[in-house]
Amino acid sequence: MKMRHLGKSGLEVSTLGLGCMGLSYGYGPALEKNEAIRLIRRAADLGVTFFDTAEAYGPFVNEEVVGEALQPIRDQVVIATKFGFFEGDTRKGMDSRPENIRAVANAALKRLKTDRIDLFYQHRTDRNVPIEDVAGTVQDLIKQGKVKHFGLSEAGIQTIRRAHAVQPVTALQSEYSLFWREPEKEIIPVLEELDIGFVPFSPLGKGFLTGKMDENTAFHASDYRNIFPRFSVEMRSANKALVEQITTIAKSHGVTPAQIALAWLLAQKPWIVPIPGTTKVERLEENLKSADIELSAKELAQIEAALSSIPIHGDRYPPALQARVGD
């Protein structure tokens, strides 16, 4: 597995990381613990050194699984986790008060079975707490050796600038894919200006870009895609043209739609590190092979031309979740 640096921070990680959320939360029933550990360790065996979790995934159980899986190779990997929800529960609103950030850090260290958090993200912007206070608190944790790097998730450009002025931001984690290209307008230019790495979550459009989902796909009752406007039956039908075009491009390369989607992301900037997630070892192996696909400038231009005329239908988030996206 090739390596990349997240901005100028010096944090080196595998070209593709592993988003661990879906092992415990978000996409239906949690994977059995031993199976989740097996998948994480298989990722490590294949060269993945960057693993993403959060206290809110469960809550708490995902950190425990990640910690147990990686404990034998802790010094060989980078673990990212997050703070920012009241009692770690996404349903209870935001809580980035300094005392909570410190409490979350201490609890996460225990669950992750480690003495430091490599990358500590604010999970979502908390409009009740100045971002300067958040950055200052994480800076204190860095001075104490409990945290190595500071990150933000779904923050806007003003929040990024204000936080970075207090404590350098190593990485922004936000959604970015062929299914959601909004970061290209403002976010990516600011990250490039400030030398901040970009960690796209949902790089496969929450599964939509794999070509294995259509308007007839039924989601489990606990799958959070049920509440996303873009994943309604009508919107999935309307957006089929995008997947069909990506599938055509993939076939011409002898690869899968998922591999094209990930290779496209990797080609955008050398400091972009996607974190696709999966519960299946065969999908993990498929995803990681995309790191070996190098799309030429001509091929990227062809992809751009093929997709530029295809509109994307449906809002990314319902209003309540969209309100958590920072300014």
Report the chain's terminal Cα–Cα distance, integer Å. Answer: 35
Burial of 77 (0-12, 13-18, 19+ CB in 10 A): buried
Q: Where are any strands of DSSP class E within 101-144?
A: 117-122
**Active-site residue identified among 57, 121, 176, 224:** 57
Distance CA(115)–CA(136), nearest Å, equals: 20
Report the C-alpha dihedral over residues 130, 132, 136, 142, rounded to 10 degrees.
Answer: 110
Distance CA(42)–CA(300), nearest Å, equals: 31
3-state SS, residue 219: coil
Distance CA(98)–CA(320), nearest Å, equals: 24
> Among 232, 234, 173, which Cα is nearest to 7's?
173
Going from the C-alpha of 208 to that of each of 10, 200, 232, 323, the distances in angstroms are: 33, 15, 12, 23
Q: Report whether 113 contacts 120 (CB < 8 A).
A: no
State yes or no: is 224 an active-site residue. Answer: no
3-state SS, residue 3: strand
The residues annotated as belonging to the active site are: 57
